[in-house]
């Protein structure tokens, strides 16, 4: 007799091709609505499923995991970041956690450069004028921004995405500097022409643009706090495509409002999708709705990784992208 298929619950709408393949392989419960699950729906899911496929919008904390039934054995996250999942608690309950690393690297790095250009070349201001119909024609001193070439770029977090940003920035003629938990190998530094700073404070104080590319962990929460943000030059620009919690958003808002920073490009926010309302009215701030990884290719690859992780687990093996505490 064929073995019973795994019960899989997916918390958000996924690309059609991914959902079709999931239905072929598993006893899957898909999401009709694209709205996030309520807490009650998540609780029911962890009680009834063998595998949960959540996204960054789902908070899988100790309380929720504590309500999981005996069936739940894998949380196969659709995404690379797992700061919304209590991995330690899951591990203590014998529940594996997997993610989709490496998929969003190039897409997110592209968005970092897009935000740098948008802020430094005042693209948002130009768009607003054109869309409002208020443009009165070219003028020699209108919308003057600055070029990227020759600027010092400080990269906070030199993992896959940070290195992809460095490669792109070098093509624009930028000087690459970085701070990381561990220094890169000499050959990698040489290839990127990157300068390592052991002191984050010293690096921050000397950069023209600061790109945040580190994950959100207890040690990186408000890593860029009010004190450290004040070290930035008034002419500096900050770009964040990683996690909003790394920056003290209220302190950042105050500095931008006071003219103590030249601008910011933000794709993530400290309190989920609720960015500080004051940021929306600032002409030197570009705000995006967490779309750094939003490409068709990337989403399909994420889905493929989820399927491989679940299928490997179903076959009695360790998921290839299992998350362990040492990775965090």
Is 319 within the bounds of a domain?
yes
Give me the number of domains the chain comprises.
2
Residue 265's nearest CA partner among 274, 252, 250 is 252
Q: Are 82 and 179 contained in the same domain?
A: no
Q: Do 157 and 234 have their domain in common?
A: yes
The Cα 74–Cα 62 span in angstroms is 15
> Do the domain assignments include residue 271?
yes
The tens digit of pLDDT for each residue in 207-217 reads 999 999 998 88
**In the beta sheet, which residues pair with residue 158?**
none
Q: Is 2 contained in some domain?
A: no
Same domain, 187 and 255: yes
Which helix (H) or strand (E) element contains residue 105?
A: helix 105-120
In a domain, 1, yes or no: no
Interval 227-273: pLDDT, tens: 999 999 999 999 999 999 999 999 999 999 999 999 999 999 998 78
Q: What are 128-178's pLDDT values in tens digits?
A: 999 999 999 999 999 999 999 999 999 999 999 999 999 999 999 999 999
Q: Are residues 29 and 127 in the same domain?
A: no
Mean pLDDT on 310-319: 96
Same domain, 137 and 276: yes
Cα–Cα–Cα angle for 74, 75, 79, nearest 5°? 140
- pLDDT score for 3: 55
| Statement: residue 327 has pLDDT above 50 | no
Same domain, 301 and 203: no
Whether 113 and 257 map to the same domain: the answer is: yes
CA 90 to chain CA centroid, nearest Å: 22
Do 141 and 251 fall within a single domain?
Answer: yes
pTM exceeds 0.75 for this model:
yes
On whether the CB atoms of residues 235 and 263 are closer than 8 A, the answer is no
Model pLDDT, residue 275: 86
Give the integer Cα–Cα distance in Å for 89 and 141: 58
154 shares its domain with 232:
yes
Length of the chain: 328
pLDDT band at 294 (very low <50, low <70, confident <90, very high): very high
Band (pLDDT 50/70/90 cuts) for residue 33 is confident
Shared domain for 162 and 249, answered yes or no, is: yes
pLDDT at 1: 32
- Domain membership of residue 206 as a residue range: 105-287
Is residue 248 within 8 A of residue 240, CB to CB? The reply is no
Specify if 52 maps to a domain.
yes
Asked if 157 and 214 count as a contact pair (C-beta separation under 8 A), the reply is: yes
Largest Cα–Cα distance of the chain, in whole Å?
A: 78
- Find all residues with CB under 8 Å of 52, minimum gap 6, and list them: 8, 9, 11, 45, 46, 60, 72, 74, 75, 76
- The answer to whether the beta carbons of residues 241 and 112 sit under 8 Å apart is yes
| pLDDT higher than 90, residue 328 | no
Look at the block and give the residue holding tokens 């054109």: 130
């Amino acid at each position: 007799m064929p073995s019973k298929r795994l019960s899989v619950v997916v918390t958000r709408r996924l690309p059609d091709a991914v959902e079709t393949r999931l239905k072929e392989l598993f006893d899957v419960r898909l999401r009709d609505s694209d709205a996030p699950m309520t807490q009650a729906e998540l609780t029911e899911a962890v009680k009834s499923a063998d595998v949960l496929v959540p996204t960054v919008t789902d908070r899988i904390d100790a309380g929720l995991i504590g309500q999981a039934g005996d069936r739940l054995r894998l949380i196969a996250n659709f995404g690379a970041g797992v700061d919304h999942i209590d991995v330690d608690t899951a591990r203590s309950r014998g529940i594996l956690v997997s993610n989709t690393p490496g998929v969003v690297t190039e897409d997110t790095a592209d968005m970092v450069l897009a935000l740098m250009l948008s802020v430094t070349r005042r693209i948002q201001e130009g768009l607003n004028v054109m869309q409002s119909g208020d443009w009165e024609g070219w003028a020699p001193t209108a919308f003057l921004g600055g070029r990227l070439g020759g600027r010092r770029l400080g990269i906070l977090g030199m993992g896959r995405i940070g290195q992809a940003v460095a490669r792109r920035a070098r093509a624009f003629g930028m000087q690459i500097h970085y701070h990381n938990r561990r220094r890169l190998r000499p050959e990698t530094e040489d290839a990127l022409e990157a300068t390592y700073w052991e002191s984050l404070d010293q690096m921050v104080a000397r950069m023209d643009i600061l790109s945040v590319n580190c994950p959100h962990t207890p040690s990186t929460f408000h890593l860029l706090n009010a004190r450290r943000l004040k070290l930035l030059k008034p002419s500096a620009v900050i770009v964040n495509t990683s996690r909003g919690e790394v920056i003290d958003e209220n302190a950042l808002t105050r500095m931008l409002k006071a003219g103590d920073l030249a601008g910011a490009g933000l794709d993530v926010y400290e309190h989920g999708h609720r960015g500080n309302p004051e940021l929306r009215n600032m002409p030197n701030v570009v705000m995006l709705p967490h779309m750094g990884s939003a490409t068709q290719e990337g989403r399909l690859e994420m889905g493929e990784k989820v399927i491989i992780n679940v299928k490997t687990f179903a076959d009695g093996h360790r998921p290839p992208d299992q998350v362990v505490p040492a990775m965090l």
